Amino acid sequence: MKLDLMMSDYENPWTFSDKPFDTEDIGDSVGFVYNIFSQISGKSYIGRKYFYTLRKKKGATRRVKAESNWKKYYGSNINLLTELKEHGKHKYQRTILSLHSTQGDVNYHEVRQQFMMDVLESDQYYNDNINGKWYRKPEHIVEGRRYSESDLRFMNR
């Protein structure tokens, strides 16, 4: 992958369409779906992040919109974060897969991408759950599955 060498104002910048992504690139987007790739393990993590938070300052009555920690964010997976501490940020490629103008669309596309990439069934991903509702299954459960011939044809498309 050829990376545009423009300087960014933060370490190990997110990329979008092979270019560093910065605050001025946000536009009307509220968040993004991303892939973090580890050069150490060869695994990826697919997740989502919002560009802004709404916080109420101490003593204030209204919430204030502020930029989130998206520039420093490396996901929420414990195994990925442990590996990151051990090996350093420079061994991880952070790619924005898609930008979205509503939180609902961010959430939908995160889950959609995770199911499409089969993150719970593949050893190529750190993800161990999708939306806190679907979890990686133990091997004995996976091995115990039986499919009808018509279902197998559908799954192999």
**Which residues form the domain of 122?**
15-155
Whether 148 is in a domain gets the answer yes
CATH code of the domain in which 68 resides: 3.40.1440.10
Q: Under a CB-based contact definition with an 8 Å cutoff, are residues 34 and 47 in contact? A: yes
Q: How far apart are CA 92 and CA 83, in angstroms?
A: 10
Whether 120 is in a domain gets the answer yes
Q: What is the pTM of this model?
A: 0.83
Whether 1 is in a domain gets the answer no
Q: How far apart are CA 94 and CA 91, in angstroms?
A: 10
For the chain (157 residues), the mean pLDDT of every run of 10, in chain order, is 57 96 97 97 98 87 92 95 95 98 98 96 95 81 75 59
Identify the DSSP state of 10: S
Q: How far apart are CA 109 and CA 116, in angstroms?
A: 10
Whether 2 is in a domain gets the answer no
Q: How many independent structural domains does the chain possess?
A: 1
Closest C-alpha to 112, from 29, 46, 66, 45? 46
Whether 21 is in a domain gets the answer yes
